[in-house]
Amino acid sequence: MKAFVVRHDRPVFSAQKCSDSAEAEAQLAHYEEASAKVDEDIHAMMKKASNSDEVTILEAQSFMLKDPDFTSRIRHLILDDYYNAPMAVETAAGQIIDQLSKLGSQMFRENIYDVQDIASRLISTLTKEKFTNIKELEEKVIVVADTILPSELLAMDVSMIGAICLDGGGSTSHVAILARSMNIPAVFALKDASSRIESGGLAAVDGLSGILYIDPDEKTVRRIKREKRQLEEEERLLKEDAVLPAITKDGVRIRLECNIDGIDHVESSLKNGAEGAGLLRTEFLLMTEGKTYSEDEQAEIYAQLASAFSRRGPVTIRTYDVGGDKVVSDLHVDEDNPVLGWRAVRFCMSRRDIFRTQLRAVLRASGSCPGRIRLMFPMISGPDELDDVLSFFESVKAECRSEGIAFDEDMKTGTMIEVPSAAITSDILASKVDFFSVGTNDLTQYTIAVDRGNEKISYLYKEYDVAMLRLLKYTSDSAAAHELDLSMCGELASDIEFIPLIIGLGFRKLSMHPASLLSARRLIRSLNYSDCQVLAKKALDMTSCRDIEELVEKFNAEIRDNQQG
């Protein structure tokens, strides 16, 4: 395929300052006009957006455009320092980027791209000059770029992009998320690739190994094509498996559900054979900029989701898990230690107005589809907190009854087990709810005291840590003793290497990202439950993470050998 090279050359604009306040006022008006135009463009793109990832990214950009810190810096540079409008935008963006780079975390790096994108668009609107050489693509190409701004990717004709190769970036960047949602293979961190190939030159991308070949020989192209065909065939076979139940070879049924953020994920979940939604992360309802969902709107969304899954299985609605790294700027004040702070039910119990609306909406939705909606509370830290939350829920139910609102009186309620104190008291919690769902993402973070988003200490973040296995086993035993429904909805539930161990620990219900369902189902169908139990028993006797890793590796190697043999 031919390469199409995108480089972001700095636009040319005058470095001349304004001569007087009248000129400065004119530059300010010029900037405000450009800002309104860019916002209009963003909203037009939002209307055309084909999925929620695109909308979220565009919303972040519209938000950045109007960010008070950004806009007041620009105003100050123009009115007080007499900068012309493009200079002021470039300088203000530079200052904010400097600040963000010092903060280090991935989340802030993503904000840097948003600032860069917004600044580029403002400047190109102000100077009426194009930043990049992006144009209408006439044939399918491999885009090789120094960087691609989300707005640029959204402006391109997706059907003409065979792959994207970037000098920088990473797999969790906004562009990576967009590329995934558009089904475009993407390769990152290629250093100076964009300056080593010219537009029109031949290129090939090995999506599996993440290698960009410049001017590849025929043999390489044939190999890449062959591997791509194999991959497509494998995906096709996996899809055929989607209709088969996840049953181990010795007949133990494992339920596979999906984790979803909203309506968008329903189609892929159903296609991949989800047997219900084990986790609906409702915080997305609070995170939509400039919008609050009324009781009616929420009830409608929840009922729609329950009906979309219909007889496949119930939808487990988790009440708002805001706070921690999911800060909603309108609702939160800055906290020194947000992960241990005003999060999830702690937030909801002090903002009962918001919580009540959500609970009433869930109850109302349940009235139209009894048995198909379950309610789950996040971040419960122990029996007292659970009692308080449940008693508030009872008061909301009583309120609905007195208003004659029909709801599912037998609606199942459960708690997430994602705080170590909840796992340790799971024997007590088990008598208060109908189900447990273990959130290994947070349980790991809090058990090992390792920030789940901090790359510097990610070597410690092991969901199968010795301490974690003990907590998982204790929770599983507590659930079994009370004949409680038990599932896992953290990322560990979809880790193909660790599924045998998780099943062996007693988890017969796993909830995961829709994309992981097919491979999880195929794996489960190749397992013997009794072998998984033996594996879990051995792992629980181990005293080091490395030994657990080795044990699991050996177990998986044997499964693979058996499959091939």
Catalytic positions, written as ranges: 174, 489
- In the complex with ligand PEP, the residue whose CB is nearer, 167 or 442, is 442
CB of 380 to ligand PEP, least distance (A): 12
Nearest to residue 462, comparing CAs of 495, 430, 486?
495
Question: What are the distances in angstroms from CA 453 to CA 125, 225, 339, 449?
Answer: 36, 36, 11, 12
Q: Which does 206 bind (CB under 5 to 8 A by kind): Mg ion, ligand PEP, none?
A: none
Q: What mask of x and - would describe binding to Mg ion in positions 414 to 453, judged by CB under 5 A? A: ----x--------------------x--x-----------
Q: What mask of x and - would describe binding to ligand PEP in positions 355 to 394, judged by CB under 6 A? A: ----------------------------------------
Give the residue at shortest CB distance from ligand PEP. Answer: 439
Q: Binding segment for Mg ion among 156-164, 289-297, 412-420, 535-543 (CB under 5 A)?
A: 412-420
What sections of 128-251 are H helices per DSSP? 150-155, 174-181, 193-196, 218-241
CB of 507 to Mg ion, least distance (A): 16
Give the residue at shortest CB distance from Mg ion. Answer: 442
Q: Hey, which residues between 442 and 461 contact ligand PEP (CB under 6 A)?
A: 442
- Assigned token pair, 188: 């990152």
Question: What are the distances in angstroms from CA 347 to CA 139, 148, 291, 316, 429?
Answer: 52, 37, 19, 20, 21
For 310: left if phi > 0, alpha if psi spans -120 to 50, otherwise beta; the answer is left
Q: Hey, which residues between 69 and 108 contact ligand PEP (CB under 6 A)?
A: none
440, 476, 478, 556: which one contacts ligand PEP (CB under 6 A)?
A: 440
Residue 441 binds ligand PEP (CB under 6 A) = yes
> Would the CA dihedral through 550, 555, 557, 558 be positive or negative?
positive
CB of 328 to ligand PEP, least distance (A): 14
Q: Hey, which residues between 227 and 286 contact ligand PEP (CB under 6 A)?
A: 279, 281
- In the complex with Mg ion, the residue whose CB is nearer, 337 or 402, is 337
Which amino acid type is present at position 361? A
- In the complex with ligand PEP, the residue whose CB is nearer, 414 or 490, is 490
Q: Which does 45 bind (CB under 5 to 8 A by kind): Mg ion, ligand PEP, none?
A: none
Q: What mask of x and - would describe binding to Mg ion in positions 144 to 173, judged by CB under 5 A? A: ------------------------------
C-alpha 245/C-alpha 457 separation (Å) is: 39
- In the complex with ligand PEP, the residue whose CB is nearer, 122 or 301, is 301
C-alpha 565/C-alpha 559 separation (Å) is: 10
Element (H, E) at 400: helix 383-402
DSSP 319: -
Q: What mask of x and - would describe binding to ligand PEP in positions 472 to 501, judged by CB under 6 A? A: -----------------xx-----------
CB of 55 to ligand PEP, least distance (A): 20
Q: What mask of x and - would describe binding to ligand PEP in positions 401 to 420, judged by CB under 6 A? A: -----------------x--
CB of 442 to ligand PEP, least distance (A): 3
Q: Hey, which residues between 348 and 377 contact Mg ion (CB under 5 A)?
A: none
C-alpha 82/C-alpha 397 separation (Å) is: 61
Residue 172 binds ligand PEP (CB under 6 A) = no
DSSP 217: -
Question: Dihedral (C-alpha) 281, 283, 288, 289: value to the nearest 10 degrees?
Answer: -150
- Indicate the pairing of strand 211-214 with strand 203-206: antiparallel
# chain residues binding ligand PEP, by CB under 6 A:
10
C-alpha 205/C-alpha 134 separation (Å) is: 20
CB of 286 to ligand PEP, least distance (A): 13
Q: Which does 27 bind (CB under 5 to 8 A by kind): Mg ion, ligand PEP, none?
A: none
- In the complex with Mg ion, the residue whose CB is nearer, 278 or 439, is 439
- Assigned token pair, 90: 């470039």
Residue 445 neighbours by CB under 8 Å, 6+ apart: 339, 451, 452, 461
Q: Hey, which residues between 308 and 327 contact ligand PEP (CB under 6 A)?
A: 321
CB of 300 to ligand PEP, least distance (A): 23
CB of 207 to ligand PEP, least distance (A): 27
- In the complex with Mg ion, the residue whose CB is nearer, 13 or 461, is 461
CB of 233 to ligand PEP, least distance (A): 33
- DSSP SS3 for 122: helix
CB of 495 to ligand PEP, least distance (A): 12
- Assigned token pair, 564: 């091939």
Q: Which does 440 bind (CB under 5 to 8 A by kind): ligand PEP, Mg ion, none?
A: ligand PEP
In degrees, rounded to 5, the angle at the alpha carbon of residue 63 between the alpha carbons of residues 60 and 65 is 110
Residue 324 binds Mg ion (CB under 5 A) = no
In degrees, rounded to 5, the angle at the alpha carbon of residue 150 between the alpha carbons of residues 13 and 231 is 140
Contact between 84 and 20 under an 8 Å Cβ cutoff? The reply is no
C-alpha 378/C-alpha 317 separation (Å) is: 10
- In the complex with Mg ion, the residue whose CB is nearer, 132 or 425, is 425
- Phi/psi of residue 257, each to 5°? -115, 175
DSSP 27: H
C-alpha 50/C-alpha 463 separation (Å) is: 34
In degrees, rounded to 5, the angle at the alpha carbon of residue 435 between the alpha carbons of residues 422 and 492 is 65
Q: What mask of x and - would describe binding to ligand PEP in positions 420 to 439, judged by CB under 6 A? A: -------------------x
C-alpha 179/C-alpha 321 separation (Å) is: 27
Token look-up 């028993």 returns 537
Q: Which does 495 bind (CB under 5 to 8 A by kind): Mg ion, ligand PEP, none?
A: none
Residue 495 neighbours by CB under 8 Å, 6+ apart: 463
Nearest to residue 440, comparing CAs of 375, 519, 501, 515?
501
Residue 261 binds Mg ion (CB under 5 A) = no
Rule CB under 6 A: which residues touch ligand PEP? Answer: 279, 281, 321, 418, 439-442, 489-490
Rule CB under 5 A: which residues touch Mg ion? Answer: 418, 439, 442
